[in-house]
Amino acid sequence: MTDPLRRRLLRAGSLLPLAAAAGASLADAGAGAVPPAPAGVGPDALARDEAWWARIAALYDVARDPVPLENGYWGVMARPVLDAYLRHTERVNREGAAFARRAFPALYRDAQARAARALGIGAGELALTRNATEALQALIGGYNRLRPGDAVLCADVDYDSMITAMRWLRKRRGVEVIELALPEPATYQGMIDAYAQALERHPRLRMMLLTQVSHRHGLRLPVAEIAALARRRGVDVILDAAHGVGQLDMRLADQGADFAGINFHKWIGAPLGVGGLYVREGRADAIDPYLGEPDPHGAVHARVHTGTVNFAAFMALPDALDLHEAIGTARKQARLQFLAGRWLDAARASGAYEVLAPEDPRLRSAIASVRLRGRASAQDARALAQRLHDGFGIQVVAREGLASGACVRATPAVFTRATEADRLGDALAEIARDA
């Protein structure tokens, strides 16, 4: 064990007697580390308060070289969550199989119920998984309302593994797979119209995949409106909420989808390896039990079989949720979009970039992407990302898959400084001058 890890475990352990003496959990202590917001200051105004967000950033141990602007991959844990995770890891390692057999089931149920409350759904509507991909593959593969000749719909903004799973239904279920290229530039009504027209053109549609926030360029779909259109035509929606939960100030149940895959290790800040599968109450019969899993009561957890999980990661989920809620989802959303806007303004002003971030705030998220005009190949995107890393010390990532071409994605986090977002904007401006 490394010295830093040993010190972390010892520190986490030393907090336990203090928390117990005060009648509080370690999660309470972590959530209490969040500074109170100034009275009467709303999320949009607070988003510009660098002093307040510096105190939030102080809860994270993050390397700043290169500048970390690729936080869409996953969200690093804040220090109180990491302390809790290491404490849980130590317990799992010390108690071994006896812990897993006897203590963990109740702790799992506690974490599941806590997560369901945070999502605004019933505990019986949620099963914990390792990630959203696992959940969505189980939902897509297990969806049993398809017959040969039916159709399913996905789009170029969807996640690669999910598109693969939808295409697999052609062979497995004998259905037609409709692949939609969403129009650019995106407008709110334009997104609704694109799906409405697809529903009109394909009367055999039975199921569609919707991605709440695209991992490619951050487009936020008007999910509730599109899901309502689908419901009126008897079309089920499977929602990829991997980038929505924790980043957007919304309730999952209000999105209109009966099925969803969730990540808790992206915008909630739980340890890696914590996701969720949501099935609205009364809809479990539309998803087959996973590979013949026993299903005496139509339980959601029978729709996925994760196997042995990272026990400590699941146990730390309530700690992460406590800290996340203490910061506030609405505040997170406002801060992240404020940071994204700073570097995007510089990219737009240069005139050298196609900015793949809608003007309409209802369609924006923390994630945003650009490409140099006329340079939409995967090689072009990788070259731009590499130049930002090597020449300016900024970590971003190239993304492919959009019908319009490849792009470079940047994603801030709650610990990102405004000066770091500005650094990306300045770098893009300098590259534009050279281009």
CATH of the domain at 206: 3.40.640.10
- Pair 248, 375 in one domain: no
Whole-number Å distance between alpha carbons of 261 and 287: 13
What's residue 33's pLDDT?
86
Residue 67's H or E segment, with its range, is strand 67-68
Give the domain range for residue 386: 330-434
Q: Which residues pair with 205 in a beta bridge?
A: 151
Higher-pLDDT residue of 135, 435: 135
- Pair 413, 352 in one domain: yes
pTM above 0.85, yes or no: yes
**What token pair was written down for 75?**
């969200």
| CA geometry: angle 263, 267, 268, nearest 5 deg | 80
- Pair 317, 340 in one domain: no
Measured CA distances, 312 to 107, 221, 317 (Å):
10, 34, 9
**110-140 burial string, b = 16+ CB within 10 Å, else e?**
ebbebbbebbebeebbbbbbbbbbbbbbbbb
Residue 350 in 3-state DSSP?
helix
- 262 within 8 A of 255, measured Cβ to Cβ: no
Has residue 308 been placed in a domain? yes
- Pair 230, 290 in one domain: yes
- Pair 334, 299 in one domain: no
* 286, 321, 356 - which closes a domain: 321
| Beta strands 397-399; 407-410: pairing state | antiparallel
* Residue 18 reports pLDDT greater than 50: no
Has residue 7 been placed in a domain? no
- What is the tens place of the pLDDT at every residue in 104-124? 999 999 999 999 999 999 999
- Pair 257, 347 in one domain: no
Whole-number Å distance between alpha carbons of 300 and 262: 14
Mean pLDDT for the stretch of residues 377-406: 98
Has residue 303 been placed in a domain? yes
**What token pair was written down for 288?**
């087959």
Q: Name the average pLDDT for the chain.
A: 93
pLDDT band at 26 (very low <50, low <70, confident <90, very high): very low
Has residue 243 been placed in a domain? yes
Number of domains in the chain: 2
| Beta strands 407-410; 368-372: pairing state | antiparallel
- Pair 340, 315 in one domain: no
* 269, 297, 321 - which closes a domain: 321
What's residue 8's pLDDT?
54
Mean pLDDT for the stretch of residues 249-261: 96
pLDDT band at 409 (very low <50, low <70, confident <90, very high): very high
* 266, 299, 321 - which closes a domain: 321
- 397 within 8 A of 409, measured Cβ to Cβ: yes
**What token pair was written down for 400?**
């492919």
- Pair 161, 304 in one domain: yes
**pLDDT over 70, % of the chain:** 93
Has residue 195 been placed in a domain? yes
Has residue 225 been placed in a domain? yes
- Pair 374, 269 in one domain: no
What's residue 297's pLDDT?
81
Has residue 168 been placed in a domain? yes
Q: Which residues pair with 361 in a beta bridge?
A: none
What's residue 27's pLDDT?
43
What's residue 7's pLDDT?
53
Residue 38 CB burial class (10 angstroms; 0-12, 13-18, ≥19): exposed
| Beta strands 205-211; 407-410: pairing state | unpaired
- Pair 350, 312 in one domain: no
Mean pLDDT for the stretch of residues 257-271: 98
**What token pair was written down for 67?**
């500048």
- Helices (H), ranges, 24-103: 26-31, 43-46, 50-57, 79-98
- Pair 163, 303 in one domain: yes
What's residue 298's pLDDT?
84
Whole-number Å distance between alpha carbons of 77 and 270: 6
Mean pLDDT for the stretch of residues 6-10: 51
* Residue 6 reports pLDDT greater than 60: no
- Domain of 343: which CATH number? 3.90.1150.10
- What is the tens place of the pLDDT at every residue in 158-211? 999 999 999 999 999 999 999 999 999 999 999 999 999 999 999 999 999 999
Which residues lie below 8 Å from residue 229, measured CB to CB, with a gap of 6+? 192, 195, 196, 199
- Pair 344, 226 in one domain: no
**What token pair was written down for 193?**
């119209």
| CA geometry: angle 108, 113, 119, nearest 5 deg | 125
Which residues lie below 8 Å from residue 17, measured CB to CB, with a gap of 6+? none
Residue 33 CB burial class (10 angstroms; 0-12, 13-18, ≥19): middle
| Beta strands 126-129; 394-395: pairing state | unpaired
Has residue 101 been placed in a domain? no
What is the torsional sign of CA 138, 140, 141, 146? positive
